Amino acid sequence: MSKGSIVSAQTITNPSNPDVFKIMLDLELAQKISPKARIVVWCVASNSEVISDTIEFNVDGAFANEVRIK
């Protein structure tokens, strides 16, 4: 999520270790979410419990245009 909108969504699975996954951001996606984004992660446990968490982070140096701060 960035700027109040969902920018990208995907399902990630790791059959060898379901507790571990990686999220890769390419430059095009980084430009869409600059300067700040939030990753929302959720899963459904085997007992049908929904588990979720979020992390907000800054995206530095990924603007499509040059940005100058006065």
Q: Which domain holds residue 55?
A: 1-63
* 6 located within any domain: yes
User: What pLDDT does residue 7 have?
Assistant: 77
Q: What is the pLDDT along the chain (70 residues), one digit of tens a residue?
A: 677 778 778 787 777 877 777 777 777 777 777 777 888 888 888 899 999 999 888 777 655 566 666 6
Long-range pairs of 60-67 with CB within 8 A, sequence gap ≥ 24? 60/35, 62/27, 62/30, 62/31, 62/33, 62/34, 63/31, 63/34, 63/35, 64/31
* Alpha carbons 14 and 33: distance in angstroms, whole number: 26
* Overall number of domains in the chain: 1
* 20 located within any domain: yes
* 29 located within any domain: yes
Q: In the numeric block, which tokens belong to residue 25?
A: 């951001």
* 69 located within any domain: no
* 53 located within any domain: yes
